[in-house]
Amino acid sequence: MNTRTFIPTRAQQRPFQEEDGTAREQGLGFENAGHTSVMVRECMDALALKKGDVVLDATAGLGGHSEALLSVADVTVISLDADLRAVAASKARLSKFGERSVVLNANFADLASTLASHGITTIDKALFDLGWNRTQLVGRGVSFLRDEPLHMGYSELPRSGFTAAQVLNEWSEEVLADVFFGYGEERYARRIAKKIIEARKEKPIDTTAQLVEIISAAVPAVYRKGSLHFATRTFQALRIAVNDELGAIDSGVRAAWKLLNCEGAIAIISFHSIEDRRVKHLFAKFAKGEGRLVYKKPLTPSEVEISQNPSARSAKLRAITKPCLDA
């Protein structure tokens, strides 16, 4: 495997504050997750749905945004998710809309081929919610608040081809440190990588509890007492690497733009600065051509929404339209 593929340049990184580890931890079962979709009204405004639109919800999750899209206008929504459990939940939730709802099991990085295989060659609007719901991924080791096997994939077979446990037990100290810094902007990346190498010499690192203990031993006491859980950045970095999240964003958003009809729009919600910078960069490229940015700066949730749904507090919404070129 080519681990270097997943490591961004250190010089390109800047500090960020991701939502803390408990913000999205509902503590409920998957079927009753209680997850609240973020910035729904703002997404509807940005997309400006019209009757008959074919809309792509590239990240269906539990179907919240898809339901909103189907409820506000007479449109057809194609919802994608890499997780079969999410697909089942979305199908059940959206069944009341009949043929106007189509839910497919696919990673949005493969949206072009997935849609083509179902006879869809163009779309009018697209929505990407790059956040994730810990309750949706129970049992896969994504949350450091539960003791689970270190899988971290959004699907049974992670897009990268390897699990978090394989990363921790097989990759070199140097590469691990680069991953933790590049994808998590973890200031103690080298110390954590060194501790991982020491720990795996004793026994394989297979569970989230083991990893949390290793991180705890690697970082200073003051870091363990901070407002942001000390394992947040390391877990984020592993999740991004295992799911090739940045590569998926590039592939998926570029494909959606190519499929987008004129007068179409794409709206994207991100939750940390690494994602947001990637989206900003892509939109800037589109805007040099026929694209027009809907907002000069990303929208953020209202204080009312944040008070009702703390998970929303780090969300940023960017949107772009594709005007029709003059004949």
Q: pLDDT digit string (tens) for 2-31?
A: 444 444 433 333 333 333 333 333 322 333
> Looking at the predicted structure, is the pLDDT value of residue 65 above 50?
yes
In tens, the pLDDT along 149-173 reads 999 988 777 788 899 999 999 999 9
SS3 (DSSP) at 49 = coil
Question: What is the four-CA torsion angle of 110, 319, 137, 111, rounded to 10 degrees?
Answer: -10
Distance CA 6, CA 180 (A): 11
Give the model's pLDDT for residue 12.
37
Give the pLDDT of residue 311: 82
Q: Dump pLDDT digits (tens) for 167-210.
A: 999 999 999 999 999 999 999 999 999 999 999 999 999 999 99
**Span 285-307, mean pLDDT?**
95
Q: How far apart are CA 13 and CA 10, in angstroms?
A: 6
Q: Which sign, positive or negative, has the C-alpha torsion 48, 53, 58, 62?
A: positive
Q: What's the mean per-residue pLDDT of the chain?
A: 88
Q: Which of 109-118, 190-199, 208-217, 302-311 is predicted with the least confidence, judged by mean pLDDT? A: 302-311
What's the mean pLDDT in 57-62?
Answer: 94
Tokens of 315: 């969300």
CA distance 213 to 63: 35
Q: What pLDDT is attached to residue 35? A: 63
- Give the number of residues written for the chain: 327
Please write the tens of the pLDDT for every residue from 124-144. 999 999 987 666 667 788 889
- Percent of the chain at pLDDT exceeding 90: 76
For the chain, what are the domain ranges?
30-134+245-322, 160-242
Nearest in space to 289 (alpha carbons), one of 251, 248, 252, 325? 325
CATH number listed for the domain at residues 160-242: 1.10.150.170
Q: Is the confidence at residue 37, as pLDDT, over 50?
A: yes
Instruction: Give me the mean pLDDT over the 107-125 stretch.
Output: 96
pLDDT value of position 136: 60
Per-residue pLDDT tens for 208-255?
Answer: 999 999 999 999 999 999 989 999 999 999 999 999 999 999 999 999
- pTM, two decimals, is 0.85
How far apart (Å, rounded) are the C-alpha atoms in residues 145 and 152?
13
Which CATH number is associated with domain 30-134+245-322? Answer: 3.40.50.150
* 184 contact partners, CB below 8 Å, separation of at least 6: 232, 233, 234, 235, 236, 237, 240
